[in-house]
Structure formats: C-alpha cells, structure tokens
Chain A
C-alpha cells in the first residue's frame, strides 16, 4: 500500500506538474511560436491589397519558373514605407508558389506603386512569350496605416514633475541648474497666480497678479517668459512683469493693439535631437476638451503623419507646451481627465528606438 501510495503520489505530482506547469507552458509556447502579433486595421488592409495583387498575378497564363521581383515604389514614399510594402508583397507572392530570386538573369516581375489623390495603385507587369501581362489593384489610401512603419531614430522619455487641482496655464523651467525648479502660471480662485516650485514640488514663492488689477478672464491664453531675474506674463490684453523676491512690485500694462488680434503668442515648440542635431516639433491640437490626446513629435518641416513620428499619449487634452533650457527637452501641460488635475510633464528626446 505504501509503495502504491508512493507511486500514486508520484503520479499525482507528475499530473500536477503536467496540468499546472507543462501544459500551460506548452500552450503558451504554441501561441508564441505560431501566432503573429495582432495587426492594426491598416496593416490588414495593406496585406489584403498585396494578397489581391499576388492572386491576380498567380493566375497569369503561362507564368511559371523563377522570377526576379523588381520593386518600383512611389517616389514620395519613405524607405521604411517602401520596405514594408516590398516585404509583404514578396511574402504574398511566395505563398502562391511564385518563386522569386535575386538572379539578374531571371525574367522580371515589375511591381509599381503609385499614389493618386485617394488611392495607392499597385501594378504588376511581366513579359510572357512576347506579350506584356499587366495586373492592377488599388486600395484607398486613408485605410492604410499612416506613417509606415512607426520607426524613428529617436525615442521619447516622459516624467510627470508637477500636478495641481488648479488650472495650470503655463510653465517654464528656471535657469540651467537642475535644482532651480519651475515657474508655474495658474488660475486659482479667479486670480492669476505665479508659483516658484523646487524639484520636489514644494512651493517656494507665490505671486498674485490680482493686486496689479488683472481681472478674471475666461480666456485660457497666458504665457510665462523668464528674462534674467524678471518674470513676464503675457495675457490677452496686457503684459505683466515682476521679479522673484519682490512680489509686491508687479507691474502690468495694456498692450495696443490687443494681443488677441496680434496672434503674438509663443511659436512652435521645437526639440533638438541629441543624436544628430535635427529639429523635431511638437504637434498637438488641444481642441477636444474631453479626450485623451496623443502628442506627436515629428521632424521639423513635416506637417503631420510621418513614419518618423514619435507618439506619446497623455491622460487628457494637452493645454500647452514650452521649450526647456535643455534643447532636447520640453514641458507639456495636460489635464488628467480621470482626476481633473492639471499635470506638468517633462519630455526628453533620446537616441535609438
């Protein structure tokens, strides 16, 4: 009985090991080995388009033997975008038993890609017994993944450095030294207030613009600028100035014509890549008050939607950005939709993917 008990307990242990450890491991391994990562809709569309072309090509009468794939991408495509299409097309051709080779002596299968205002047109052309065979498919451009593939020579680091239940209007770093902290402009109890905080978020100084007759406003536009020891606050109808250490001496003057018509606000926030010195700009809309917002950091000179874009999602709308002393960093102010707080993030470009 004992021996039976020992054997039984071995069996139980073995069953336990199989059921609880090996089986899940095998299932996991199977899933890992044979499944592919979930494809975005755009990727599926791209693959379906390539499949459609490959199917049409495979039905060309008399097409057999080894072919040399000659790829002619649209002139406006990035290398990454072109390479992605080529890779998928090659895969789809090979799935349909079309043998491809790099041999220059093999008959050519030319595949051209061209963008029209709304479509990508793929054309395959090959020559069979003195006649040209052409197969064409098209796909709606807007259904394809934007910015293929999402590869950038930089990555984005992000760190939240301050948050407040009050509405933060703007923020600016103080000086070159890491321990000099931030100046924060916020709207508190119908007053515009400037805070000086250290790196531990401790408030070191509070300056209200109310004594300088700055009235409450629903206009959210306000900007902080550091000029030496002076702090400048640009509002839609006036400019205020004071120095740290002398908070009672806030001076404000009306601007004529009012800045609201001058559009004289801060320009695009730019970052400098520490890798190659290239300029990158921040793109955000800030116009949808109830949606999480994705900040796009794109090479300067690109309007939108580029394969090189670096994306960072914030917990709510981005209400402002400002450059830092360090040219590869910037401050981003966002409203957290879950908590209602306003949050200041420091974002930094770094090399590599």
Chain B
C-alpha cells in the first residue's frame, strides 16, 4: 500500500495560514539557454527551446547567524533552497554538513600547499545524492506528486529508495542491469520497486524521460523535478565556504557525470558572494572524468563548446553518463573560472582510491578515485596551481565499489599462528 507524497504533514502556522505549496524564496523556473520563464511546477525542459530550466529566486537579506543557528544538515541553508521554511520539521534523511578534512598528508604527497577533502561519503546513504534527493522530495511533495523515482548509476538509487522509505512513500528506481552488486543490494534493502534495465545509464535515462512524459504523479528526481533536485548540490559549496570560515576556496576539483553538481556548486558560491555571506573572491573550478567516459574532458581539450556523446566503458560507473545533460554548462563554468576538465584511466582511478585511503584514511568510491587522480594529473601538468588553496570532492563511499579494487588488495602476508612465523614476515 503506497502513500502519496502529498499526504505527509505540512505544517501550518498558529494563525492558520494556508497550506498552499511553498518553495521558499524561489520565484520561478528560468531557461538557462533562452531566458524564458515558467511558473514553479514539475517542468525541466523549456517550452520554447527544450533548454534546461533552473530555479530563480528573490532572496531577502540573509545573514550568517541565521544559517549558523540552523540544524547541522542542509536545511541550515533552507533560505537558499526551493523549499518551505519548515522543511526541517518534516521527516527526511537530514543529509549534509559532512566533514571538510584538512588533507596535509595528501597535500605533501602531491606538492600542494593547502588541500582539503570534502568527504560526502558521510551522508546517510553514503553519497552526495542524499542532498539532491532531499530537495527533490521536498519539491515533489509541494507539487502533489505521488511516487519518488529515478534513473540511476547507483548512488542515486540508494538515496531515492532510502528517502522514500523514510518519508513513507512509494519509490521506483531504474538501474542499468550491469550495476555493481553492492549498489543493487543497498537499494533493494529499502524496499520499493527496483527495475534493472538491459542497457547502459543513457538507455535507462532515456526510458525514464519517456515514462516521466507519460505518467501522471511521478517525481522523477533527476528528470521532471530536476531543477529543484540540482539545487541540492549548491549545499556542497555552501558547506565548504562555511567550514572554511565563511570564505571561498581558490580551486575546487569536482567529479563530472551529468555535470549538474559542478555547475550548481558554482551557482551556490556565486549566490553566497551576491548575498554578502562571503567575500566574492575568485575561484577556479576543475572537472574530473574517467577516460572511459570523458565527453566533457574531450570537448574541453578540443576547444568545443558542445559535448559529443560517448558510449561509457569505465570502472567509475557512478560517472558513466555518456550524454551529460549539463556538459556544455560545465565547459562554460570551467572556462569562465579559469579551470579545466581532465580525465584519468581506470588504473589511475584505482591508484587515486588507494592514495586517498593511504594518506588520509578516507576510502572513496570510484568517483573519489577519479577526483583524486585528476587532482594529481592537474598538478603534474601544471593546470592547477599547487600554491593555491584547493578543495577536492569525495562524493561517495568506497564500500560501494569494492569490485574496483578487489584484485589489487589483500593481506600483506598469510602466516601460521606462531610468533616465529610472524617474525619471519615482519622484516
């Protein structure tokens, strides 16, 4: 028996204010390509040009103290998100406010002066996707949508299934049928429907787009409520700035799948500056991809401003989107900020996972291996300035992608249970 998203309690104030949909300070949806505006609704493509819609706001004055007084999760930034003011009081996964680790060991190894790791594996389902799903769920609730759904490369599948379970509503998750077993199990455990599709992520995504166009009442988090969903990624940028003491880093390395996260972190940092919450100091944004799925890195390298789709073939399945929706906007962002997009081989990704674990005690999934390996490559090729303060993102937990490193790791030695046997190998 499923429950509708819109049956969850919506708070009304003591004066009995109306229970009308609320998106906080969000004003409308606006097309990134042509600038056409649409009312806030379950729309993701511009009626005029098919371009991507994003949320536009009419922010009031917001100060640091009101944020700092908020909960230790993404809802401390609720005034900067398209959510109702009382969002924190509605049952949800309470994601965010993950660790920002001063990574001195890794910095020393790579020859970087000051380096931080934003470790988003600390979220409730162990990836940054809990952030975006929380905002998408909030929007779906306001829009009266009844089923939480997504096409996913795995991390999003976990986040959607868990968030729906916590909210007491129905979920339907579509995944490629070759997904890592860990990500299948860590989705299925939450209940809900899990549909394995014979194809790659781009095939699954296409199917989801078709279903979203036909079925009433579905909140496909990264399709028809994508403008709201993607706003959740801004909180990564907000947290980095707040955790640095309300200032912006000089360089950030971010993984690129669809490119949504990278562009929204930039949007978030820009908003902080515009609102006077930080000094709007310049920063450079770098994108990280796997060689086996590097359409944005290839377009950057070749000087193109559009992205030619590829067929993915990489161990970094969470980044294996061959036709990235926001690819062109990633190119715009990195070029505008003086950054770059690079890609690394599967072997370099494995090395990146091992390097981060060995130096900082952080076990990243393959996407984190991609960012760390890309950081290394950017330093070695002179594209990233080692003298500037840098933040590298780890967006997921290595326990989800054990297969990627299973062949290269194991016990240092296997010995008989005797002291002499131990002495023999403890040279």
B is bound to A: no
Chain A interface residues (CB < 8 Å from chain B): none
Chain B interface residues (CB < 8 Å from chain A): none
